[in-house]
Amino acid sequence: MDFWPSLGFKGNPYVVKPLPGSEDGRELLVGRDVELRSLLRRIRESDMHVVLEGPNGVGKTSLVSVATWVASEDFKRGRSRQLYLPLPEPLQVKEDAEEFVSSCYFGIARAFLEHEKTLKNAGRSVPRTKDLNLWLNSPVLRARGGGINSPFGGFTGSAGIAANTSQGYTQAGFRAAVKRWLGDAFPEGSGGFVGLIDNLELIDVSSEAQRVMEEIRDPVLQLPGTRWVICGARGIARSVAATPRMNGVLSDPIDISPVPDSYIPQLIEARLRHYSVGDSSSAPVSARAFEHIYEVSHQNLRDSLSYSQDFSFVLEPEFFLENEAEEIESATRKWLAELAMKYERDIRLQPRMWRLLDDLARIGGACSPSDHQDLGFSDRTHMRKNVVDLERFGLVTSSREEADQRRRSIEMTSKGWLVYYSRSQGLINPTIPGLLPE
């Protein structure tokens, strides 16, 4: 029998994918009422685009998907007169701004097709499907419009397909048409497509992210009938929102902090319930064990879920079926401690680098290059050298050549937190001074 069904689940309750924009996603989103309300209010009531800033794996993408779904449901159920609908998928920002603009327009064109019925039922004006398909399959638009897995002919993103000018499909023509369609479908204040511009931190350096966002400001961020939600980690979304050219275009960032510990049992129980087939499922990682993992990984929800999966698969289903909850929980704790010790053992660092990791953990796990003095370095270059080494072992992530010295661009990973756990608990080396628990 398959693993999860043998434990009484219809699927993997610890899935790490972002929550979907659907009834299921809404049911599984726990501990985010305040952020959900605040995001919805900004989508509906403000004429600026929304910026979300928060550490990796806290649930930004999930929150946006669910919020957009709630907005579309509210219209469907007559609770709101504004019709908001999601783009088919989140857009990953690209350094090539022109290419990124193209993916935004393709996303919008695809959204018109996907939501055609809903729009029509709502009495909104929609472009003709024939026109849309014509545009979407136009070679000239494909020339730089890459990165889209389109169901309309599979653009592969390979640049440089020759322009088919004989058919007259120019970029400018396509863009003007999209703008017109948006204006017709969504008259002022009546809703729009919600597009998620995700993972701004992938651009790494804030000046680059700022440049891309400034370049898309006029062609994308000024389009009618669209509300963009821009997500980023390690201070990059905040730093983009703060540039003068984004004044009045992007809102003040909403900070997305980790889901508070007090919600974690409820969050996991919601999943276990959702994925259970009958009333007697046997969870490999109980709510209590998950709380422990969440604490050790310093509240990284995504990584806690992925550790939970890893643990589930190291043992046979019989173990979970035949043992009491306490025994299973203590097996989880033991497994996590062993993983932390293994990580610590596999890492070779100079004492100064170890100290940096410990100090970083003590100040909460994130810092900016300008914090070098607080961390005991005479200058930034010296600290940078040590950070790079921690990064080599996956203990921190950081940005290269960051111009904004106050950006908290250096952040411990959950592996870093696990190693710190091993050190601070003295799991391998109980004599590390100053790190033993009181």
Ligand X SMILES: Nc1ncnc2c1ncn2[C@@H]1O[C@H](COP(=O)(O)OP(=O)(O)OP(=O)(O)O)[C@@H](O)[C@H]1O
Binding residues for Mg ion, per CB under 5 A?
61
Binding mask 336-375 for ligand X (x = CB under 6 A): ----------------------------------------
Structure tokens that stand for 51 in this block:
């910026």
Per CB under 6 A, the segment of 10-18, 103-111, 338-346, 378-386 that binds ligand X is: 10-18
- Residue 401 Ramachandran class (φ > 0 left, ψ -120 to 50 alpha, else beta): left
Question: Which of Mg ion, ligand X, none does residue 267 bind (CB under 5 to 8 Å by kind)?
Answer: ligand X
- Contact between 285 and ligand X by CB under 6 A: the answer reads no
Contact residue for ligand X among 203, 240, 267, 293 (CB under 6 A): 267
* Residue 57 or 192 having the CB closest to Mg ion: 57
Q: How far is the CB of 197 from ligand X (least distance, A)?
A: 12
Check residue 305 for interaction with ligand X (CB under 6 A). Answer: yes
Rounded Cα distance between 380 and 322, Å, is: 55
Sequence-distant (≥ 6) Cβ neighbours of residue 25 within 8 angstroms: 19, 62, 65, 66, 69
Of 8, 13, 18, 416, the one binding ligand X (CB under 6 A) is: 18
Query: By CB under 6 A, is residue 42 in contact with ligand X?
Result: no
Q: Rank residues 302 and 408 by Cβ distance to Mg ion and give the closer one.
A: 302
Burial (0-12, 13-18, 19+ Cβ within 10 Å), 313: exposed
Q: How far is the CB of 58 from ligand X (least distance, A)?
A: 5
Cα–Cα distance between 115 and 66 in angstroms, integer? Answer: 17
Q: How far apart are CA 108 and CA 122, in angstroms?
A: 18
Strands 410-412, 396-397: pairing kind: antiparallel
Count Cβ atoms below 10 Å from residue 168 Cβ, excluding itself. 9
Among 7, 9, 13, 56, binds ligand X (CB under 6 A): 56
Q: Which residues are CB-neighbours of 28 under 8 A, at least 6 positions away?
A: 19, 270, 271, 274
CB of residue 246 to ligand X, shortest distance in Å: 21
For tokens 């910026």, the residue is 51
CB 391 within 8 A of CB 304: no
Shortest approach of ligand X to residue 19 CB, angstroms?
4
Nearer to ligand X, 25 or 146 (CB): 25
Q: How far is the CB of 62 from ligand X (least distance, A)?
A: 3
- The residue nearest ligand X at its CB is 59
28, 109, 220, 349: which one binds ligand X (CB under 6 A): 28
Residue 59 binding target from Mg ion, ligand X, none, CB below 5 to 8 Å by type: ligand X
Of 217 and 274, the one with the shorter C-beta distance to ligand X is: 274
> What span, in angstroms and rounded, lies between the C-alpha atoms of 402 and 407?
8
How many residues contact ligand X, by CB under 6 A?
Answer: 25
What is d(CA 432, CA 423) in angstroms, rounded to the nearest whole number?
A: 7
**C-beta of 64: minimal distance to ligand X in Å?**
8
Cβ proximity to Mg ion: between 66 and 357 the closer is 66
112 contacts: CB under 8 Å, gap ≥ 6: 119, 126, 127, 132, 181, 185
**Site of interaction with ligand X (CB under 6 A):** 15-19, 28-32, 54, 56-62, 199, 233, 259, 267, 301-302, 305
